[in-house]
């Protein structure tokens, strides 16, 4: 189970709000399933329906993650006006074996859900907030 801090979930929600109406996106790195660092990334698509992180930005972050002896634990993005459930596009773009976190801004009370997505199969996963 992936473990995040309350501060990290707050940062994810703040990032989602700051990028709205476009989707926010970012990478989550850590050790032993505990998130140590969030990397806020640029949504090159500038869209409210999908996100795209540039290959160079991904490469630079992956390089830093390896340098810091961490691993990629998750990828997060926001849904501005829909529930925190993977869209067909989210499923098509899910290429890494990590948790996919979705921050929904649909309601006044923002929500975050996590999923494993493999071969377009979606499985909701629990995560812990400390």
Q: How many helices (H) and strands (E) does the chain have?
A: 3, 8
| DSSP E strand stretches across the chain | 2-4, 25-31, 34-41, 71-79, 99-104, 111-118, 121-125, 127-129
pLDDT of the residue at 120: 86
Residue 107 has pLDDT above 90, yes or no: no
Domains and CATH numbers, the chain: 2-129 (3.40.140.10)
pTM, two decimal places: 0.95
Q: What is the pLDDT of residues 14-60, one digit of tens each?
A: 999 999 999 999 999 999 999 999 999 999 999 999 999 999 999 99
Structural element, H or E, at residue 107: none
DSSP letter at 117?
E
Question: CB of 40 within 8 A of CB of 28?
Answer: no
The closest of 29, 27, 30, 34 to 1, measured between CA atoms, is: 34
């Amino acid at each position: 189970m992936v473990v995040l801090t309350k501060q990290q979930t707050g940062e994810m929600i703040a990032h989602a709000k700051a990028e709205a109406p476009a989707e926010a996106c970012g990478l989550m790195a850590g050790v032993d399933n505990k998130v140590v660092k969030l990397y806020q990334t640029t949504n090159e698509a500038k869209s409210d329906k999908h996100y795209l992180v540039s290959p160079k930005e991904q490469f630079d972050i992956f390089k830093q993650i390896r340098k810091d002896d961490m691993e990629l634990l998750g990828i997060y993005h926001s849904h501005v006006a829909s529930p925190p459930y993977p869209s067909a596009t989210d499923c098509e773009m899910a290429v890494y074996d990590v948790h996919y976190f979705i921050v929904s801004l649909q309601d006044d009370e923002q929500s975050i859900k996590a999923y494993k997505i493999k071969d377009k199969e979606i499985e909701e996963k629990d995560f812990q907030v400390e």
